[in-house]
Amino acid sequence: MVTFIQQLINGLTLGAVYGLIAIGYTMVYGIIGMINFAHGDIYMIGAFHSLIVILVLGFFGITWVPLALVFVLVIAVSLTALYGWAVERVAYRPLRGSTRLAPLISAIGMSIILSNSVLLLQGPRGKPLPLKTESQFAAPFQLVTQDGISAQITDKQIMIMLITVLVMVGFTLLIKRTSLGRQQRACEQDMKMASLLGVNINRTISLTFVIGAALACIAGLMVTLYYENIKFNIGFVAGIKAFSAAVVGGVGSLPGAMLGGMLIGLIEVFFSAYFSVDYKDVAAFGVLVTVLIFRPTGLLGRPEIEKV
Amino acid sequence: MTVREMSRPVAVAVPNLERLKHALAAGIITFLLTSLIVGIETVSSTGELTFNTRYKEVVIASIAVFFGSWVVSLMREGRPLPALFGGGAVTLVLGALLIWNNLDPSLTAWLPFNAPIVNWGVLIVPASICARAAQMAAAERARAEGRATPLAGVGKALEPALPWVGIVLLVGAIALPWLPLGERTQAKKIIDICTIVLTYIMLGWGLNIVVGLAGLLDLGYVAFYAVGAYTYAMLSVYFGWSFWICLPLSGVLAATFGVLLGFPVLRLRGDYLAIVTLGFGEMIRIIITNWRAVTGGPNGINNIPRATFFGLPMERDVPEGVVSFHQFFGLEYNPNHRVIFLYYLILICALVVNFVTMRLRKLPLGRAWEALREDETACRALGINPTNTKLTAFAMGAMFAGFAGSFFAVRNQFISPESFVFLESAVILAIVVLGGLGSQIGIVLATVVLIGLPELFRELKDYRMLAFGIGMVLIMIWRPGGLMAHREPTIRLHDKTRAPPAVAAAPKPAAEAAK
């Protein structure tokens, strides 16, 4: 029971990260129907931006976590969002309207460019978080204790879940209530019609990438704080798992992306706790295949209607 | 005069202020993008993370992008002269500095970037802007004088030569080991690179059946390559089976895997299939990495036996009673014999793949693939079973990957999960797409560009992958349909320009194979 609760908490934390990345995939897929392979590397760039901002803040003597977090959220998130914009502008916009595979190859190329430039610029070694978090955070809360083992939740995990909930609320309001969100949804349903009605398509698509990159950066920040060590190649695995999460939840559905993320996170954590750590990724992909076979449009996806 | 002016492309004039704003924005964005990732270098020494700044590079890059954006915008309007002179001047100054620096290293501080290779790489940008501007200026002048634009006829003139390119390449490939390639080690290096290129050509041709002909996006192709490689490696190391028995077995086993995977997932459409194949590829790799008892885990399998020349081992020293290759043919022992043998082996394998593909395209099955690629619903209406048709394409592609895999194992004598990462799948897919979906000769060109060129620059290890990625993006933007766009159906109804299918299907292997 204790193990179960502990793994549940760990799984939800990991799932929150996957979910935030998955939203970027699902939004882009929903609006222009391409797999943005570089999105995982945008997340990696976000993690590096967060780490570097924390490092520089430490140099100026700002080590109080809440203040540092505000700085990171403003600087790192806006710079990473700019990366999302630039990648779309450089590698995808010239290819809009060509074959379906062209932007995919361009995206794979972009992913290679991003991860290898970070490898060359920042070195191949893992980067430890420069913030001494032990002194800043209180001891973990004991939730349930049984036979001397207790399930605990740390401040960081609470923070990650809190940030995720806040970001999701803000993001849902953005999509549901603002005119920007309306334009985004209109483009998703029918781009040609939206453009006839005066929606600026290019701007809307760019903003989709910007929002996706911003969310990926928040995920990157959380991972940096949580694992306290990042590397140039973390984008690939997180990226394909987040994309799996988006597909499991139903591509194009925003709550689906979060649900899928949570599901993949939980399965990964439970599988490594009860069966085998080595094969946790096999379990995650196994779930993906199973879901697709029985519900080809994902858990919350709308069934595709085919017109001839 | 008026007519000539009207026929010129209409360039939209942008106000100067607008252009300045645009260039400024490009410069500022470059500054922001590079400010943290380039500007601050994190250094982790003795557990502590510290940083160095590199703002010289950031500022130089931003200014370069500002001016570059300005002259390119002028060039787009039909005013190539600033680009011509600006790009030329930068190229000359930077080039001179670089060459001078090679003779006298005290100039290093004057160079924009620290790594010499980056400086040389950056040189390409102003040089290509300058070249493009020069081309535009020449075309402009030719138009003003009423001459034909230079270079305009080149593409047209080359078109009839296209069928011959394949034959020339084929003859070149067969003759390669007999050409004077220099001394032994150098010849070995060249043939080795060509062997690698041919392996990728074979994989590209195999994946082309799946992606190019049947239109199924497969992102886990390398899984079948891995199945083939591990089949040979394990059968030969554990049971001592010969390469010539294992080669067909590898293909059969890989095809079986293809069918097993394909059966449940081929009902899915398009991108879902892509993600499932990607997941499958990763699963195979994870299983290989972790199933230590059988696959050797991350350490891989060592000392895989070499292939024999129809039973004649190609070694210098052979056990008593066994005749080796050089003894049998009365030759001086030369380690290059084995290299050349492997080269011909993969050449034959690749040509077999090509030949089978060319033949299959003419069979009802191949036509069903192409029809399925164009419109699945229509195919279903016409009574083609989409699942079975896709399954054959999938299995066929997987089988060729299995052959290539067992060749890879026998050539390298060592395999590990490192060789079967997703990047390999991406590279093979990139070859197929960059070559132009469905074009056999395009795949050869794309492989030479993507594999051959970087293979020559092996010393630049990390920069090689970067250049590879940049190449992928640039080729896609430049030619979204691939180098040789080829989406023509092989067979058409009521096509008078083509010979009837019965004649076209007559056997002429050499010419067909070369295509």
Place of tokens 């779930």: A287
Tally of domains within chain B: 2
* Pick among B69, B211, B261, B282 to test the A interface (most A CBs inside 10 A): B282
- Which residue, among B189, B208, B172, has the nearest Cα to B442 in the 3D structure? B208
Domain boundaries, chain A: 13-235
Residue A125 at interface with chain B, using a CB cutoff of 8 Å: yes
Element at B43 (helix H, strand E):
strand B40-45
Which residues of chain A does B274 touch, with a Cβ-Cβ cutoff of 8 Å?
Answer: 35, 104
Q: Could A45 and B37 be called an inter-chain contact, meaning their C-beta atoms sit closer than 8 Å? A: yes
Q: Do residues B72 and B27 both lie within one domain?
A: yes
Using a CB-CB distance cutoff of 8 angstroms, which residues of chain A are in contact with residue B38?
121
Minimum-distance CB partner of A52 among B36, B469, B472: B36
Collect all residues of chain A within an 8 Å Cβ-Cβ radius of residue B218: none
Are B115 and B107 in contact, with CB atoms under 8 Å apart? no
B191 shares a domain with B84: no
pLDDT at B451: 82
B112 and B201 co-located in one domain: no
B49 and A83: CB-CB below 8 Å? no
B117 in the same domain as B31 = yes
The answer to whether the CB atoms of A49 and B36 lie below 8 A apart is yes
Residue A15 has pLDDT above 90, yes or no: yes
Range of the domain at B39: 2-149
Of B440, B469, B502, which residue is a domain's last?
B440
Nearest chain B Cα to A247, which residue?
B272
Q: Which of residues B412, B440, B468 is at a domain's end?
A: B440
Distance in angstroms (rounded) separating the CA atoms of residues B214 and B226: 22
B192 and B305 in a single domain? The answer is yes
Q: State residue B494's pLDDT score.
A: 63
| Best residue in A56, A105, A271 for a mutation probing chain B (most B CBs within 10 Å) | A105
Interface touch B37/A121, C-beta < 8 Å: yes
Residue B482 lies in a domain: no
CA distances from B1 to B4, B10, B146 (A): 5, 15, 10
Report yes or no: A208 and A31 within 8 Å, Cβ to Cβ: yes
More confident residue, B270 or A233: A233
* B277 and B132 fall within a common domain: no
State whether B42 and A55 contact (CB < 8 Å).
yes
Nearest residue of B to residue A294, measured between CA atoms: B264
**CA gap B181, B34 in Å, rounded:** 45
* A99–B33 CB contact, under 8 Å: no
Contact B37 A117 (CB under 8 A): yes
Out of B29, B270, B287, name the one closest to residue A82 (CB): B29
Given the structure tokens 């040979």, which residue do they identify?
B232
Residues of A (243-302) whose Cβ lies below 8 Å from B? 243-244, 247, 251, 278-279, 281-282, 285-286, 288-289, 292-293, 296
Alpha-carbon gap: B431 to the closest alpha carbon of chain A (Å): 10
B290 and A279 within 8 Å at the Cβ level: the answer is yes
pLDDT (0 to 100) of residue A269: 92
Residue B502 lies in a domain: no
CB B41 within 8 A of CB B54: yes
User: What per-residue confidence (pLDDT) applies to A1?
Assistant: 76
Q: Are B465 and A106 in contact (CB < 8 Å)? A: no
Query: B315 in a domain, yes or no?
Result: no
Q: Which residue has the tokens 């879940």?
A: A161
| Cβ–Cβ below 8 Å for B265 and A121 | no
Task: Flag if B481 and A45 touch (Cβ within 8 Å).
Answer: no
Which residues face B415 on adjacent strands? B301
pTM here is: 0.85
Give domain status of residue B105, yes or no: yes
Residues B56, B193 within the same domain: no
* Residue B282 forms part of a structural domain: yes
Residues B17 and B117 in one domain: yes
Handedness of CA A8, A13, A16, A18 (dihedral sign): negative
> For residue A98, what is the nearest residue in chain B, using CA coordinates?
B480
First to last CA, chain A: 54
Q: Tell me how far apart the alpha carbons of residues B283 and B92 are, in angstroms, rounded to a whole number.
A: 52
Nearest to B49 among A100, A113, A130 (CB): A130
- Is the pLDDT at A135 greater than 60? The verdict is no
Instruction: Report the half-sphere exposure of A296 (CA within 13 A, side-chain side).
Output: 13
Residue B356 sits in the same domain as residue B252: yes
Residue B460 domain-assigned (yes or no): no
Residue A149 contacts B where some CB pair is shorter than 8 Å: no
| Range A43-61 average pLDDT | 91
CB of B326 closer than 8 Å to CB of B313: no
pLDDT of A267 reads 92
Kindly state whether A35 is in contact with chain B, defined as any CB-CB distance less than 8 angstroms: yes
- Indicate if B10 and B89 belong to the same structural domain: yes
A146/chain B closest Cα distance in angstroms: 34
Residues of chain A with Cβ-Cβ distance to B429 below 8 Å are: 105, 108
Task: Name A247's Cβ contacts closer than 8 Å, sequence gap at least 6.
Answer: A260, A288, A291, A292, A298, B272, B275
pLDDT of B465: 82
Residues 6+ apart with CB under 8 A from B358: B440, B512, B513, B515
CA-derived radius of gyration, chain B: 27
For position B31, what pLDDT does the model report? 92
Query: B500 — alpha (psi -120 to 50), left (phi > 0) or beta?
Result: beta
Half-sphere exposure of A28 (CA within 13 A, CB side): 30
Test A282 with B283 for CB contact under 8 angstroms: yes
Query: Which of B149, B175, B195 is where one domain is finished?
Result: B149
- In this prediction, residues A293-297 reach a mean pLDDT of 80
Distance from CA of A77 to the nearest CA of B (A): 12
Are residue B74 and residue B198 in the same domain, yes or no? no
For residue B49, list chain A residues with Cβ-Cβ distance below 8 A: 51, 55, 127-130
Instruction: Determine, yes or no, domain membership for B493.
Output: no
Is residue A101 within 8 angstroms of chain B, CB to CB? yes
Interface subset of A 209-248, CB within 8 angstroms of B: 236, 240, 243-244, 247
Say which residue, B500 or A256, is predicted with more confidence: A256
**CA nearest neighbour of B456 among B200, B201, B190, B203:** B190
Q: DSSP letter string over B199-213?
A: HHHHHHHHHIIIIII
How much is the pLDDT for B155? 56
- Tell me, yes or no, if A73 comes closer than 8 A to chain B by beta carbon: no
Shortest alpha-carbon distance between residue A108 and chain B (Å): 7
Q: Is A143 within 8 Å of chain B by CB?
A: no
Inspect the interface and report whether the beta carbons of A236 and B429 lie closer than 8 Å.
Answer: no
Which of B283, B279, B268 has its CA nearest to residue B216? B268
Residues B187 and B142 both lie in one domain: no
DSSP 3-state assignment of B415? strand
Q: How confident is the model at residue A41 (pLDDT cuts 50, 70, 90)?
A: very high
Q: Are B469 and A83 inside 8 Å of each other by CB? A: no
* Optimal mutation site among B28, B45, B49, interface A, most CBs of chain A within 10 A: B49
8-state DSSP, A88: I
Provide the 8-state DSSP code for A124. Answer: S
Whether B445 is in a domain gets the answer: no
pLDDT tens digits, chain B, 515 residues: what are they?
A: 344 444 444 555 668 888 889 899 999 999 999 988 888 888 877 767 888 888 888 898 899 899 888 888 888 887 888 888 888 888 888 888 888 877 777 767 777 777 777 777 888 888 888 888 888 888 888 888 776 655 555 555 666 666 677 788 888 888 887 777 777 788 888 888 899 999 999 999 999 999 888 888 888 899 999 999 999 999 998 888 888 888 999 999 999 999 988 887 777 766 778 878 888 888 889 899 988 888 888 888 888 888 777 777 777 777 777 777 777 777 777 777 888 888 999 999 999 999 998 898 888 888 898 888 888 888 888 888 888 888 999 999 999 999 999 999 999 889 999 889 888 898 898 888 888 777 788 888 888 888 877 777 666 667 878 888 888 888 888 887 777 665 555 666 665 554 444 444 444 444 444 44
